[in-house]
Chain A
């Protein structure tokens, strides 16, 4: 085959694949602007006859989705902030500071990566119940404040900080906390962005655990609210699509803005595993 023929075939395949991945997302957006009942027709319409914001208005009005949006936003933000703090402290310590038991603990953590998180879920629920935290945001945030993956991600990156830099600061009499805030944190910035994107997306998209511990409707996150709504409003295509758009859009935008950092996280995670 000639080079130009090969090139044409290649791009046809690429365009086909991209159409498959993007079509459901574009269709979701289009249907979200349709009038109620418009999508339940044959043949299925691709574009709204008269674009309307009625579905969004209904979601924010009757369905109170603004509340769930805020819940999701600040839960994800808080989880991200706290996990950055704890994981970066520990990741740095495991990379650069010496303490008894460092290597054995590291090996235990690494081995524990194979345990699916759902194994811990039932006793974690009992623990939360015992602590009186069921049906509070603490039950969602607290277990996510630190994680093995986060500690390792930071550690791998922190290993590249030159020891001389830290030693020089110590000789100048800087405290360990001072060294951490003024030398280590700035050096870790790229990986902290990566970890932040991962944690934020993970928290935003999380389903099973919030579904279990948040039973009060006022506390629902967007995915839980959407799942509940979709069980009650099976026939309301257009409304559900507007809800899906509101759920997906924030994370999609965040990803597009910080794509490079997110992909680095995947690659570091896969090299380590």
Chain B
């Protein structure tokens, strides 16, 4: 048990700021999937709902977490997250733009903006946040920079070649 705790401690100990950005993006993606699915499950808005967008987001979450677990793939995690969430966002726009033409049929007015359905506003804000976070994460180190050393057996102890 202690080894597990120690392993977890070590795991997080060597994580860089990029990792936490990625995880932040993953967390936002989870929230986004929940809000989007709930908000658009009612028949009023079901016609604007994009199932592929949700599938993309779910894959983004799985890959964002999964790829972060190994040092060989951790640098790909924010890329996968960003690309899949971008695709999800675009699908969201494509299937939902009719709503905007309806909502803003009379022009982009304050009244139209404040009466915009919460599902749209929240989803857009979350998508933009996720994209921002994941793009930033691509340029940040996923693991801390630790000087490369070799143990007695000549095996690599730690490397942080954030590609």
Same complex for A and B? Answer: no
A-to-B contact residues, CB < 8 Å: none
B-to-A contact residues, CB < 8 Å: none
